[in-house]
A = this chain, B = another copy of it.
């Protein structure tokens, strides 16, 4: 394959996170969006949003609940879910369903990327490939559809797991 190397691979969180708004900017946007909708800023919403931002990528509601609980043992699951829903509506967070029972959430507002999921160790590697992006737009056009979002998920064995004992 004589294609020039276009894919950017984000194996280390620091790489993937570059270009992402700072925690302050992000929370500020959240507050602005709340105000715009006539909704209130509360201590819980801030705690949850901050914990979410701090924890990093591909967080489940359960993990977020655990984290927030440490700072404030009184929060309930309901508030976690309600706040995540709110963050989605404000387009600060996107919800993803990898092949599991539960949803995972990630911070929006950084560069678009897709995911590789290791089927053995569960590691998630992000990558970005402009050709795939272009191709998807072209396909939508052929279908006659407009595209609002898309996802590419690759499943397999990561480098480390390939080198492992079996296979």
Chain B's nearest CB lies how many Å from the CB of A138?
A: 6
B148 engages A155 (CB within 8 Å): yes
A154 at the interface (CB under 8 A from B): yes
A139 engages B162 (CB within 8 Å): no
- Could you say how many copies of this chain the assembly holds? 2
A139 engages B154 (CB within 8 Å): yes
Q: What 0/1 readout, one digit per residue, does chain A (125-143) give for beta carbons within 8 Å of chain B? A: 1010101101110111011
B136 engages A152 (CB within 8 Å): yes
Tell me whether A1 and B143 are in contact in the complex, defined as CB-CB below 8 angstroms, given that A148-B119, A148-B155, A149-B156 are known contacts: no
Chain B's nearest CB lies how many Å from the CB of A20?
A: 21
Tell me whether A145 and B159 are in contact in the complex, defined as CB-CB below 8 angstroms, given that A97-B97, A138-B1, A153-B151 are known contacts: yes
Interface residues of A in 1-35 (CB under 8 A from B): 1, 3, 5, 7, 9, 11
Chain B's nearest CB lies how many Å from the CB of A71?
A: 30
A118 at the interface (CB under 8 A from B): yes
A53 at the interface (CB under 8 A from B): no
A-B contact pairs, 10 of them (CB 8 A): A9-B142, A11-B143, A116-B140, A119-B148, A127-B142, A132-B136, A143-B159, A144-B162, A145-B157, A149-B155
State the 6 A-B residue pairs at the shortest beta-carbon distance, nearest first: A144-B159, A147-B156, A150-B154, A148-B156, A97-B97, A146-B156
17 further A-B pairs in the complex, CB-CB below 8 A; given A132-B136, A145-B156, A146-B156: A1-B134, A3-B138, A7-B138, A9-B142, A11-B143, A95-B99, A97-B98, A118-B145, A119-B148, A125-B143, A129-B139, A132-B132, A136-B154, A143-B154, A145-B158, A147-B156, A148-B156
